[in-house]
Chain A
Amino acid sequence: AIRMTQSPSSLSASTGDRVTITCRASQGISSYLAWYQQKPGKAPKLLIYAASTLQSGVPSRFSGSGSGTDFTLTISCLQSEDFATYYCQQYYSYPFLTFGGGTKVEIK
């Protein structure tokens, strides 16, 4: 099974900061990667698919990059509503999907 490793597992940041989250796959997955945001007690929300394509309605301060085994999610200017946990997910072994362990973005 493809393993997805996110780093860091948590981070503290301030409103207005630039935040970068990394996701590494245990084998090459091309661009078959999605990013989700989850707030406490809520369902996950799709942010990005195909590694870098922004889902409709998602603010442009979110961006994704990478291909193969290394991927990043960047929030260019952190807003108060962005404090949440972020998950990467691979689709390469579709339909057998795996998520990363999550990165919790907390208020500094």
Chain B
Amino acid sequence: QVQLVESGGGVVQPGGSLRLSCAASGFTFSSYGMHWVRQAPGKGLEWVAFIRYDGSNKYYADSVKGRFTISRDNSKNTLYLQMNSLRAEDTAVYYCAKEDGQQAGHGYYYYMDVWGKGTTVTVSS
């Protein structure tokens, strides 16, 4: 079945680094754009980053731009998030999500149809 499994979370000190992975299975990973979304404890969802299906373009939320890098290895069906210069406010559950879309009327509508269970990142001294 279609599945995303995140890993790599943990406890890290402020200023430290961490690399998250998201292993995909059950679909043609190389055909889909992928997102990272995070959720701080007790808070709502925050979009973090997006990478196109072939890795040609990457986009970031202002809150992580310059510190986080999204990448993918289509030969390994794996998405990554390299997180540097971590701050306390980066503490969250990090989800990877597969993007899909549908043509409807005059528009093409995107959505995140498959999500992983998340991996927890805690930034604390």
Contact = CB atoms under 8 A, between A and B. Distances in A.
Nearest to B59: A95
A91 B110 CA distance: 7
Given A43-B116, A46-B113, 19 more contacts: A32-B107, A34-B111, A42-B117, A43-B118, A44-B112, A45-B115, A49-B109, A49-B111, A50-B104, A50-B107, A53-B102, A53-B109, A87-B44, A87-B45, A91-B110, A95-B33, A95-B35, A96-B47, A97-B50
A36 B97 CA distance: 13
Contacts of B111: 34, 46, 49, 55, 91
Identify whether the interface residues of A are mostly helix, strand, loop, or mixed: loop
10 contacts: A44-B115, A49-B111, A87-B44, A87-B45, A91-B109, A94-B110, A95-B33, A95-B35, A96-B47, A101-B44
Contacts of A87: 44-45
A43 B95 contact: yes
B61 to A, nearest CB: 8
Contacts of A1: 62
